[in-house]
Structure 1
Amino acid sequence: MMINLFSAIQSIKVPADDALISKAVHPFFRDALQTKVSQVQLSPSQLQYAIFHYLPNWVNGLMNLRNKLVGIFGFKVNQGNLIPQSDELMVGDQAGFLTVIEKSHTEIISYAEDKHMAFYLSIKKQANTVIVSSLVNQKTLLGRIYVNAILPFHYFIARIVINNAIKANRI
């Protein structure tokens, strides 16, 4: 019998109405995770902060290792975490290595790009749920290899940080 460690988090079909849909350029990777929120008053920016401001130390350690390994290949490594500096981000603000490029009352989009790929993160609020979605446009063969190599880590880490926010009642 398999135990589902992340039963409160569902992998869902990529939303057809979010802001990322127009940013996808083939080849790309796209995923979306959804969970209920108990803190329904939080804005998308505050939800992003509540999820990503509290990364486990081992995740930060993995990001530092990643930076050392891939920096020589031209991947962006200047600030290896996703930790936002504020709970109410504005367009142009930094959220770790990402920059906020769009913001509405229902969604916030952050972005980073290097010569191998363009990465987008969407936090979309819908009533009592939040959808955390990522899009990676892979520009080069090395970008495609990298994305495929990190997918198991992405799968696990995304669910861990969302699950930690749920357990701590931050979202």
Structure 2
Amino acid sequence: MPELVRAAYYRDSYRAELGRKGLTVSDAFHAIFMYRPTWMKFIMLGRNYLVSLFGVAVPDKAEIMHPCMRSDYQVGEKIGAWPIFYLSSEELVAGRDNSHLDFRLSIVRVEEGQTVAIVVSTVCLTHNWFGRVYIQLIRPFHRWGVKYLIRQAMLTGRL
């Protein structure tokens, strides 16, 4: 995995202390990414429509508008709209491989003494000019959106 991170065209990482120390990595994923506001879901649907015109595989509308939450997951199954690539008690890695880029979203649970935190990271490997242009266009929205979703999850007591 370190090689993947070093080779990435784009990467970011955000840390948040958990108020609910007993959360699993799947619970943290749910708390952050399954409670998107409706306006954000519509933006994602618009983005999906636009990139699908270029042959990019996108999640279906139901996976965006009404994501399914379960208590138990396995590698290969989807959590929200993304297939799970790796799952342990300390980390969940989901993402998607596509013609323009591959991305991975990681949620790591970190315990340091009495403090329990999560680290949410994104890594993107681009395959062509379209992937690089796409990342440049969405980067500011991605950064703002992930921080917004984490902050909302903390403010509402989901994390």
TM-score, scaled to structure 1: 0.82
Question: Where does structure 1 lack aligned partners over 5 or more consecutive residues?
Answer: 1-19
Task: Read off the aligned partner of 1:120 and give its amino acid letter.
Answer: R
Judged with a 3 Å threshold, the aligned counterparts in structure 2 of structure 1 residues 159 and 84 are, in CA distance, closer, same or farther, namely farther
The residue aligned with 1:148 is 136
Alignment of 1:98-117 (within 5 A): 98-117=82-101
2:124 is matched with which residue?
Answer: 136
Question: Where does 1:11-22 land on structure 2 (aligned, <5 Å)?
Answer: 20-22=1-3
Total equivalences in the alignment: 152
Q: Which of the pair is proportionally richer in helix?
A: 2
Matched, 1:169 2:157: yes
Are 2:7 and 1:26 aligned? yes
Superposed displacement of residue 24, structure 1: 3.7
d(CA) in 2 for partners of 1:22 and 1:37? Answer: 29
Determine what percentage of the aligned residue pairs are the same residue: 26
Report 1 or 2 for greater relative contact order, CA contacts < 8 Å, sequence distance ≥ 6: 2
Structure 2: unaligned runs, 5 residues or longer: none
Kindly provide the CA deviation profile for residues 96-152 of structure 1, in whole angstroms up to 9, marking residues without a partner as x. Answer: 321011111111100201100001000001021110000111111100000010011
1:27, distance to aligned residue in structure 2 (A): 5.0
SS for the counterpart of 1:55 is coil
Cα distance, 1:154–1:84 mapped onto 2, change above 3 Å: farther
Cα distance in structure 2, aligned partners of 1:76 and 1:68: 10
Matched, 1:76 2:64: no
Closer, same or farther: CA 84–33 of 1 in aligned 2, 3 Å: farther
Tell whether the 8 Å contact from 2:104 to 2:122 is kept in structure 1 after alignment: yes
Structure 2 length-normalised TM: 0.88
What is the aligned-residue RMSD (CA, Å)? 1.8
